[in-house]
């Protein structure tokens, strides 16, 4: 995030197309769509009208609510980037047809944080790609995790027990004791250290959402073996380096949603529109979010009651204090 950069930071959006650029051919006014807004750029989704590039926009079917659709863009595209570009997982539409080919391509995938939005979409996509077994690491949302992965290991049992559980699963499946591919959708609080012990040191590949040099417990000493491919998956690359992949995958999302082969992430609508944003952020800060995305209906906002902070008066002082002290000044009551 850019420090001292005031901007509309909403990146997930869903709604009707209001207008298109002169070169846009894939969408028309009135289309139901969801889109991934480019982070840090103007016109984000915390507003009645937002702007997103056409290549990161996809059509959604009538049976899909805007609320559910809004859970998809950022998390699903990040998961796809991690799996198919960074980890080189076979694409769903290139699956082998013959049973012997499927067995030959069989290799496990571990997703740390399988019930997070990115982790859950990664599991759904891996399933479409025929990956097996999928081993998920989760905590409180273990039951949800079981709907996504073949095996779910609880990280709360501690690092040693987690590693032992995963190794036991691999032995049961008749697979090598170390993993060829890991997607770490958490990348902090011990996940980096646990996955380091599980990756194949000779030919493994690891995708993390956060850079280990900033989030490992021992930032200076943390290091992957020389033959491990370690990638910090960066979703912003979908707007430049991997723009073509973003275009293709967004169109594929339209197909998956239309054919009901993909659903969104569990969500909770926070009431009050934009007035509820700080409440949702407070829940995230307090660690109360588990296998859920917070969604806001902009139409519920009503009057924002904005006040110029340079003005005098108690309202300006209260707003200034709330912003300066966030998240500690946000009420914890529902």
User: Looking at the predicted structure, is the pLDDT value of residue 316 above 90?
Assistant: no
Quick one: which of 208, 207, 200, 152 has its CA closest to 179? 200
- What does the pLDDT read at residue 137? 98
Cβ-in-10-Å burial (0-12, 13-18, 19+) of 221 comes to: exposed
Alpha-carbon distance of 310 to 239, in angstroms, equals 37
Quick one: what percent of the chain has pLDDT higher than 90?
Answer: 77
Cβ-in-10-Å burial (0-12, 13-18, 19+) of 82 comes to: buried
Alpha-carbon distance of 129 to 137, in angstroms, equals 20
Domains and CATH numbers, the chain: 1-70+238-265 (3.90.180.10), 75-233 (3.40.50.720), 273-334 (no CATH)
Cβ contacts of 320 within 8 Å, gap of 6 or more: 309
Say whether pTM exceeds 0.85.
Answer: yes
- What does the pLDDT read at residue 307? 43
Quick one: what percent of the chain has pLDDT higher than 70?
Answer: 86
User: Looking at the predicted structure, is the pLDDT value of residue 77 above 50?
Assistant: yes
pLDDT in tens, 237-247: 999 999 999 99
In the chain, count of helices (H) and strands (E)?
Answer: 11, 11
- What does the pLDDT read at residue 105? 62
């Amino acid at each position: 995030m850019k420090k001292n950069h005031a901007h509309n930071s909403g990146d997930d959006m869903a709604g009707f197309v209001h207008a298109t650029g002169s070169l846009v051919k894939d969408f028309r006014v009135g289309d139901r769509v969801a889109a991934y807004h480019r982070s840090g750029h103007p016109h984000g989704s915390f507003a009645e009208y937002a702007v997103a590039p056409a290549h990161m926009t996809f059509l959604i079917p009538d049976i899909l609510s805007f609320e559910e659709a809004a859970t998809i863009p950022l998390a699903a595209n990040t998961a796809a980037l991690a799996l198919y570009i960074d980890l080189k997982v076979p694409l769903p539409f290139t699956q082998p047809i013959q049973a012997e080919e499927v067995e030959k391509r069989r290799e496990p995938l571990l997703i740390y944080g399988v019930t997070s939005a990115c982790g859950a979409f990664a599991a759904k996509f891996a399933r479409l790609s025929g990956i097996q077994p999928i081993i998920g690491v989760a905590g409180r949302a273990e039951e949800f995790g079981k709907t996504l992965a073949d095996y779910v290991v609880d990280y709360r049992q501690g690092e040693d027990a987690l590693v032992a559980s995963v190794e036991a699963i691999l032995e049961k499946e008749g697979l090598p004791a170390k993993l060829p591919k890991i997607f770490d959708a958490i990348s902090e609080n011990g996940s980096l250290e646990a996955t380091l012990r599980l990756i194949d040191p000779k030919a493994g590949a690891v995708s993390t959402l956060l850079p280990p040099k900033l989030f490992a417990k021992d930032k200076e000493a943390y290091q992957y073996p020389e033959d491990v491919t370690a990638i910090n998956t960066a979703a912003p690359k979908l707007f430049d380096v991997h723009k073509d992949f973003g275009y293709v995958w967004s169109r594929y999302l339209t197909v998956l949603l239309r054919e009901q082969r993909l659903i969104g992430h569990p969500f909770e609508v926070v009431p009050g529109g934009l007035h509820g944003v700080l409440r949702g952020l407070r829940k995230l800060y307090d660690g109360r979010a588990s296998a859920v995305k917070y969604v806001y209906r902009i139409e519920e906002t009503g009057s924002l009651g904005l006040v110029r902070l340079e003005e005098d008066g108690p309202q300006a002082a209260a707003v200034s204090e709330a912003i300066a002290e966030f998240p500690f000044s946000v009420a914890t009551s529902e």
